Copies of this chain bind each other. A is one copy, B any other.
Amino acid sequence: MKDSRPNFNSDDKDKSPADGSVKDGGYELKGRVWIEGPSGTFLGYGRAVLLERIREYGSISEAARSMGMSYRHAWELVDSMNREAKAPLVETATGGKGGGGARLTSDGEAAIESFWGLHARFKEFLKNEMENLII
């Protein structure tokens, strides 16, 4: 059946991989998973890394610096997580020796753990799908 509409530039060249220039591989399956709370993102990859850095450095500002992230942004993420969570994931201190600091609560530790588990299983999923992917 011929289409009644006019000229379609059908560009149907090199479906057969005769020359070496066929884009054969080069495709990649990517994805993201995150947990959403009542009013926005609760925990995703970047937030999980941030939590780990806070645990490592004991400071939001240092954690932010280590990730090349502005303090403000890091603080907003922490604030968002704390508001979204049932109980705060990070507890902070202002003043005192060293000016203050931040540390994870046990809920914070658990949240990281839980997310990395999810993340690992997701990577596995992508790997499997990638193997069956036909493009």
| A contact residues vs B (CB 8 Å cutoff) | 3, 5-15, 22-24, 26-38, 42, 58, 85-88, 91-93, 95-98, 100-101, 103, 105, 110-111, 114, 118, 121-122, 125-126, 129, 133-135
Contact = CB atoms under 8 A, between A and B. Distances in A.
B22 A26 contact: no
A48 to B, nearest CB: 13
Contact of A31 (B29, B32, B58): B32
A59 to B, nearest CB: 11
Q: How many copies does the complex hold?
A: 2
Contacts of A32: 31-32
B35 A33 contact: no
12 contacts: A5-B93, A6-B95, A7-B96, A13-B87, A23-B37, A26-B37, A31-B34, A31-B122, A32-B32, A35-B135, A86-B135, A122-B125
